[in-house]
Amino acid sequence: MSRVEQPPTTLLLANGTVFRGMSFGALGETTGEVCFNTGMTGYQEVLTDPSYAGQLVTMTYPHIGNTGINPEDVESSRIQVAGFIVRDGVTTPSNWRMTQPLQEYLVENGIVGIQGIDTRMLVRMIRSEGAMNGIISSEDTGLDSLKDKLAQVPAMTGLDLASKITTEKPYPWGKGAGRFKVVAYDFGIKWNILRILEDHDCAVTVVPAHTPAGETLALSPDGVFLSNGPGDPAPVKPAVKAVRELLGQVPVFGICLGHQILALALGAQTYKLKFGHRGINHPVKNLETGQVEVTSQNHGFAVDADSLDESVARLTHLNLNDDTVEGLRCLKYPAYSVQYHPEASPGTHDSRYLFEEFIRMLGD
Q: Tell me which residues are annotated as active site.
A: 256, 341, 343
- Which of the 8 DSSP states describes residue 180? E
The answer to whether the CB of 274 falls within 8 A of the CB of 239 is no
User: CA 14, 16, 19 angle in degrees (round to 5)?
Assistant: 100
Q: Are the C-beta atoms of residues 301 and 275 closer than 8 Å to each other?
A: no
Distance of CA 348 to the CA centre of its chain: 16
Q: Residue 289 carries which side chain, given as an amino acid letter?
A: T
Q: For residue 91, give the 3-state DSSP assignment.
A: coil
Q: Exposed, middle or buried: residue 151 (CB in 10 Å: 0-12, 13-18, 19+)?
A: exposed
Peptide bond into 346 cis (omega under 30): yes
136: which DSSP letter?
E
Question: Strand 88-89 relative to strand 63-64: parallel, antiparallel, unpaired?
Answer: parallel
Whether the Cβ atoms of residue 35 and residue 57 lie closer than 8 Å to each other: yes
Q: What is the dihedral of CA 133, 136, 141, 144, to 10 degrees?
A: -20
Please tell me the distance from the alpha carbon of residue 101 to that of residue 168, in angstroms, as a whole number.
Answer: 31
Q: How far apart are CA 331 and CA 289, in angstroms?
A: 17
Q: Do 314 and 288 touch, CB atoms closer than 8 A?
A: no
| C-alpha dihedral, 62 to 66 to 67 to 73, nearest 10° | 20
Residues 6+ apart with CB under 8 A from 306: none
